[in-house]
């Protein structure tokens, strides 16, 4: 097992190098000079521009800038944000829990809703429920997130006043960070139920919006995978043995049908962690997605390079974790490993 994990880590190294190089180059292809942006509309003399460029190391040749970045990154130093002058690592650590918390809640709701819907659609194959569920999931899959989020805000926050418009908790609460996960922190700080409910109220709409596409994807994947398994010989055997319909589905078929769904969920978590850009922007969610967007606008090279690298490490780790879980779920693969 350890050998397998080691091998997978080794295999992901070229990906990380490629990602770091690509992100490094792509950022520099975006028009806009961070030095000029920093000096702003009032501007500075050409001398001030040159001085600042040299101070940030941006006057060095590209290859030298890249090797400096990689060298420092290997030593654990991702540099300082150009705009805030604080370390990229500390900014990432400050924001990442917000993104993880949102992604996990979105994923939980996607799994809890998506899998039963997929099973229901498979059971009712070619009946109107199946058609309706699959049509709804197609709509969910193709929903423009920004529009969907804004509609939900208009209905639930503005018209009905049931949920807050944005943020992680009401501005009236001052939560001193402990783990970064607000559901935990409000308890640790002894703020009690009202604060916890506040966190939940703030979480509802962003998680609903972020989980919309995963719900649809998981439902569709569960349905097709279950339908495939239901055609297998052992299901026919089970039927012939006279097992009950529910026992066939939930004990025999579903366990095997969920294999590809687990892969989808694992990959989905990666997408959620990195793809919360729109949701985080819309709901002013102080996570990694919004951080990256702000850095693109400010041409904050160190944050973009460091942020992309850290996220790709997270996604590689998730992929490895999914592979390991797969091994546990599928004994045949474990056998092959031996």
Going along the chain, which residue ranges are E strands? Answer: none
CA separation for the pair 111, 245 (Å, rounded): 23
Interface residue with other proteins, options 64, 86, 127, 135 (CB under 8 A): 86
**Quick check: 91 binds other proteins (CB under 8 A)?**
yes
Min dist. Cβ of residue 66 to other proteins (A): 22
Residue 201 CB coordination number (10 Å): 15
**Quick check: 54 binds other proteins (CB under 8 A)?**
no
Q: For the window 266-305, what string marks contact with other proteins as x by the rule CB under 8 A?
A: ---------------xxxx-x---xx--x----x------
**Quick check: 48 binds other proteins (CB under 8 A)?**
yes
Closer by beta carbon to other proteins, 186 or else 309: 186
The set of residues, in sequence order, having a beta carbon less than 8 Å from that of 300 and lying 6+ positions away, is: 34, 81, 82, 83, 294
Min dist. Cβ of residue 78 to other proteins (A): 16
**What are the beta bridge partners of residue 87?**
80
Q: For the window 14-43, what string marks contact with other proteins as x by the rule CB under 8 A?
A: -----------------xxx--xxxxxxxx
Helix (H) or strand (E) holding 164: none
Closer by beta carbon to other proteins, 18 or else 154: 154
Min dist. Cβ of residue 99 to other proteins (A): 12
Residues 172-231 that bind other proteins (CB under 8 A): 172-174, 176-177, 194-195, 197-198, 200-201, 204
Task: Return the ∠ at Cα 210 (arms to 222 and 100), rounded to 5°.
Answer: 100
**Quick check: 113 binds other proteins (CB under 8 A)?**
no
The pair of three-digit structure tokens given for residue 273, joined into one six-digit string = 């962690």
Phi-psi sector, 175: left (phi>0), alpha (psi -120 to 50), beta? beta
CA separation for the pair 142, 174 (Å, rounded): 38
Task: Return the ∠ at Cα 268 (arms to 197 and 121), rounded to 5°.
Answer: 90
Residue with token string 């819309």: 282
Closer by beta carbon to other proteins, 72 or else 166: 166
**Quick check: 44 binds other proteins (CB under 8 A)?**
yes
Closer by beta carbon to other proteins, 91 or else 101: 91
Task: Give exposure, 240-252, as e/b (b: 16+ Cβ within 10 Å).
Answer: eeeeeeeebbeeb
The pair of three-digit structure tokens given for residue 9, joined into one six-digit string = 């880590």
Interface residue with other proteins, options 1, 154, 251, 337 (CB under 8 A): 154
8 Å CB contact between 229 and 235:
yes
Q: Which residues bind other proteins (CB under 8 A)?
A: 31-33, 36-45, 48, 52, 55, 83-86, 91, 94-95, 150, 153-154, 156-158, 160-168, 170-174, 176-177, 194-195, 197-198, 200-201, 204, 281-284, 286, 290-291, 294, 299
């Amino acid at each position: 097992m350890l050998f397998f994990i080691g091998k997978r880590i080794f295999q992901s190294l070229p990906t990380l190098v490629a990602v770091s190089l690509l992100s490094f180059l792509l950022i520099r292809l975006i028009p806009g000079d961070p030095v000029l942006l920093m000096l702003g509309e009032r501007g500075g003399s050409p001398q001030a521009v040159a001085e600042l460029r040299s101070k940030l190391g941006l006057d060095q040749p590209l290859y030298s800038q890249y090797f400096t970045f990689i060298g420092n990154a290997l030593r654990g130093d991702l540099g300082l944000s150009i705009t805030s002058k604080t370390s990229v690592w500390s900014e990432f650590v400050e924001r990442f829990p917000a993104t993880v918390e949102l992604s996990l809640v979105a994923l939980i709701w996607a799994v809890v809703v998506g899998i039963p819907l997929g099973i229901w659609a498979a059971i009712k194959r070619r009946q109107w429920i199946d058609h309706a569920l699959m049509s709804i999931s197609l709509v969910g899959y193709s929903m423009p997130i920004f529009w969907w989020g804004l509609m939900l805000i208009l209905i639930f926050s503005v018209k009905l006043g049931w949920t807050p418009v944005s943020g992680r908790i009401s501005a009236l609460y001052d939560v001193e960070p402990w783990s970064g996960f607000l559901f935990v922190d409000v308890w640790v700080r002894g703020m009690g139920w009202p604060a916890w409910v506040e966190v939940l109220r703030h979480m509802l709409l962003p998680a609903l919006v972020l989980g919309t596409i995963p719900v649809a994807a998981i439902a569709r994947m569960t349905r097709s995978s279950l339908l495939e398994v239901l055609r297998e010989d052992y299901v026919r055997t089970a039927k012939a043995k006279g097992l009950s319909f529910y026992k066939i589905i939930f004990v025999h078929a579903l366990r095997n049908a969920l294999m590809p769904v687990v892969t989808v969920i694992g990959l989905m978590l990666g997408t959620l962690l990195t793809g919360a850009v729109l949701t985080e922007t819309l709901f002013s969610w102080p996570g990694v997605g919004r951080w990256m967007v702000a850095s693109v606008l400010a041409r904050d090279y160190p944050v973009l390079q460091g942020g992309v690298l850290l996220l790709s490490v997270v996604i590689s780790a998730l992929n490895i974790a999914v592979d390991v879980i797969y091994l546990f779920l599928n004994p045949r693969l474990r056998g092959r490993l031996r």
